[in-house]
Structure 1
């Protein structure tokens, strides 16, 4: 048996002092007081809040303030004067403590090394705080275990996402970012500001799929929702792939990245076959029956090889809840980068509380999908079913009121689009034509996007693209991702 008496008598981990290295903090501050260049060198690594000792936080704040308003001339005397102005000099120990800090290092050559130590200790303190909060939730929160896991992972990933970023709340800072984006769009002569959907007329209406946007694509069953969103996923992943191949810098690449598809209805193999047919323009029925000749089989192999290079991820585990979906998105973003999330479909997401009325369940899921879009800073496309009332009307074109089970879907969505095909009701009515009805666009106009539905290969194309020769993607030069 294990003797627990000795182990239990030792101090609990969280009874000890938080991680810190005061010698490194003093050495870093001393380096900054000795050399103006050292301040620039470490500014990208550390902020004043990264220091542990309150006196060191105040000294660092004074140094960084001076560095923003003066060129050179930062030393113990000017920092002491800055602290004196704010009534903080005595709180840090007076000029004597600044002199002690200066005596810590003979030169500023190792400033970056000291900064890395200070930053590392700060991150460890953040991790410690997160762990404390997680332990408290485990002991005191009666939520489902999956929800606790999701919250725990969110706390950890917040450290990864936010550490090192200077949070900007002042309007002047936000306006700098806004004007930078506007100037970029002017220079690019109207290029979409978000991620291109692959459908030019849709991009004209929406300026592309915007980061942090919740996009709802709704339709009655068998209208082609999954096929449509696979077309968009193809376009987004292909753009990310090409940007990677060209070795562009992050600013040149623009918005984009890999795509994660949560296929809650179809299996990942079924979805992979759809993608093969969409990319290669193959007859889906012939692929399913295995009725391909030698040339078509070779083409299919080429497509599969190229398709495998794209950053597309498919999760087909049924009954996923929002905590699980969010956790998976964080992992994908952290490991590979993330450009878009696809949910197929919204009403199949497992609610946190099965006892809650269905309308409230759907409302909560829609709200959390919007939060996910903001947290990941990518568009989240959620497919949704329309209620049966559409089929009972003479005019079967969908309306916002047809969204099934909850008006909260419309409320939380930034973009609501309906997919409609007349030939789904009457095969002789506009065969092969489809309408993408943009019924809500929070940041732009609404309207109708005419599409062509190619049933055999499960493709949607812009009307102007219908005459495109088959196999266009196969003909491009192969390269590795």
Structure 2
């Protein structure tokens, strides 16, 4: 303390990083030439300004220019407080001075970048202060692990959006986002508002995978839910195309970058399923090495192509929801992320260990829904169904069959069930030669190679059933085509 006093004689007060002159120069340039606004509008928001009055001026200016109205010191002053003073001068005079002292719009983007970067620095300071205060005064139930997760969430939000804890926003922004989504759907192949799964009949019913949706994909064992998830994951990653935005970042215009949390299967097992599906070589043959030279060459060719697709697999077993969220944020920040898949829900751990599994699942599904909104990506979470399905004559799943169903059904935006009638018929073969055997055989042939995806819940679309084709030897789901609609074949 003595050394500090000797050096300075007093304590220094550090003000938050700001550049009022840059704010004035930018606003002046916009008032003189409205085209300057479009040089900064893609990244600069009113909340990035340090001075409150500058934030108000920029916000009104932006609204007027977007409404195709001319903005200058005369037209804008009627929308600002009439009696407000800036130091010794009134607001009308201040606006006139901003315009009079403006030089050129050439430097408008540089001024805008400076304002934006200083705003980020101020936000970092606030986050840092909050981390320190919470670390000193955290309640008992807020563990250090949770503090780290909260700090990471805030930093991720700041890195992605240039702001954190945004709170209320104007309804007009929401309307603009809705129009942008409708416009993108209109221009996109297939006219989908969401990300295409690669299965056309399913996409038509759902409009693709919608951003920020939590999608539950459930079924009993051997129904093929993991196969359907891997099919969708590969199709999305295979179709990935991106365009570079004005800020240098990439945005998917088709397909997407996929993160796959495989809590049950090893990553090489997932890869084997995808190779079998793509090459039409049985996965069991691949595992046992029962392949010939031609098939091996085919596998090598396809595997080289697969190396290039943006599909990332995390095979950590028993991962906690907080670990999953942290890794998903990191993937989005470092490589990008458009779709997240989790196989499967009941193998995850909650942050709070309790004997009540229903409470744990509730925390997990709530966290996944929050993560989908935070990352603005669809999350597909696979789920087991309870054994009560097996006790019914009709094995088709219902919402009540979801294990710990209350929270899963409540938090999910979409609930899909995979059902294969063929599987149950195979296990009910009557005695050979009996009168029932012929009927059973006819039913089995009718159900062979078919699978139903039941849309049991969809917040923004219809429910119903989509019939798909399923080839178990290749673990492949595809659009179902009736035999009579297939092209003529020549032997």
Instruction: Provide the secondary structure at the position in 1 that maps to 2:468.
Output: strand
1:48 maps onto 2:46 in alignment: yes
On the 8 A contact 1:168/1:174 being kept in 2, the answer is no
Shift of the 445–49 alpha-carbon distance from structure 1 to 2, 3 Å rule, reads closer
- Give the TM-score, by structure 2 length: 0.81
Contact (CA 8 Å) 2:157, 2:163: kept in 1 or not? no
SS at match of 1:136: helix
Separation in 2, partners of 1:322, 1:316: 14
Q: Does 1:119 align with 2:88?
A: no
Aligned-partner SS, 1:425: helix
Counterparts of 1:78-89 in structure 2, within 5 Å, are 83=80, 85=82, 87-89=83-85
Per the alignment, in what secondary structure is the counterpart of residue 464 of structure 1?
coil
Mapped to 2, the partners of 1:179 and 1:99 lie a distance apart of 36
Once the two structures are TM-superposed, the CA of residue 123 in structure 1 deviates from its matched residue by 0.9
Structure 1 residues without counterparts, runs of 5 or longer: 470-481
Cα 1:163–1:294 change in 2 (3 A) is same
Assess if the C-alpha contact under 8 Å between 2:239 and 2:254 holds in 1. no
Separation of aligned partners in 2, 1:364 and 1:334: 25
2:470 is matched with: 453
Paired with 1:69 and 1:207, the residues of 2 have a C-alpha distance of 31
What is the CA–CA distance in structure 1 between the aligned matches of 2:67 and 2:206, rounded to whole Å? 41
Does residue 28 in structure 1 map to residue 5 in structure 2? no
Correspondence 1:159 to 2:158: yes
Aligned partners of 2:353, 2:360: CA distance in 1, in Å?
Answer: 8
Deviation at 1:186, TM superposition (A): 5.5
Residue 346 of structure 2 contacts residue 383 of structure 2 at CA under 8 Å; is this kept in 1?
yes
For the pair 1:207 / 2:207, whether they are aligned, the reply is: yes
1:29-108 equivalent positions in 2, closer than 5 A = 29-61=27-59, 63-64=61-62, 67=65, 74-75=72-73, 83=80, 85=82, 87-90=83-86, 93-94=89-90, 106-108=103-105
CA gap of 1:407–1:14, structure 2 versus 1, over 3 A, is farther
Matched, 1:353 2:352: yes
Structure 1-normalised TM-score?
A: 0.83
Write the distance in 1 (CA, Å) between the matches of 2:309 and 2:351: 33
1:305 counterpart = 2:311: no
Higher mean alpha-carbon deviation, 89-98 vs 206-215, is at 89-98
Question: Which residues of 2 match residues 50-449 of structure 1 at below 5 A?
Answer: 50-61=48-59, 63-64=61-62, 67=65, 74-75=72-73, 83=80, 85=82, 87-90=83-86, 93-94=89-90, 106-141=103-138, 142=140, 143-163=142-162, 169-179=169-179, 181-182=181-182, 185=185, 191-240=191-240, 243-244=241-242, 254=253, 256-355=255-354, 357-427=356-426, 429=444, 430-449=447-466
CA 1:353–1:108: 2 relative to 1, 3 Å:
same
Classify the secondary structure of the residue corresponding to 2:40: helix
Distance 1:301 1:154 in 2: 41
Q: Secondary structure at the match of 1:407?
A: helix
C-alpha distance in 1 between matches for 2:412 and 2:393: 27
Q: For 2:395 and 2:101, how far apart are their aligned partners in 1?
A: 78
Tell me: CA distance 1:164–1:351, structure 2 relative to 1, closer, same or farther (3 Å): closer
Q: Hey, what's the Cα distance between the residues in 2 that align with 1:92 and 1:464?
A: 78
Secondary structure of 1:334 counterpart: helix
1:360 to 1:176, Cα distance in 2 relative to 1, 3 A: same
Q: In structure 1, the residue corresponding to 2:205 is in which secondary structure?
A: helix
Deviation at 1:150, TM superposition (A): 2.1
After TM superposition, give the deviation of residue 444 of structure 1 in Å: 2.3
Cα separation, 2, equivalents of 1:342 and 1:80? 52
Is the 1:362–1:406 contact (alpha carbons within 8 Å) kept by the matching residues of 2? no
Q: Distance in 1 between matches of 2:36 and 2:97?
A: 19
Higher RCO, 1 or 2 (CA under 8 Å, sep at least 6)?
Answer: 1
Are the structure 2 counterparts of residues 107 and 457 from structure 1 closer, same or farther at C-alpha, using a change threshold of 3 Å? closer
For the residue of structure 2 that corresponds to 1:456, the secondary structure is: helix
Task: Output the aligned Cα RMSD.
Answer: 3.8
Give the Cα–Cα distance (whole angstroms) in 2 for the partners of residues 53 and 172 of structure 1: 24
Unpaired runs of at least 5, structure 2: 430-443
* Per-residue CA distance 1:249-282 (angstroms, 9 max, x = gap): 9999646411100001111122121221122221
**Partner of 1:16: helix, strand, or coil?**
coil
Separation of aligned partners in 1, 2:451 and 2:68: 62
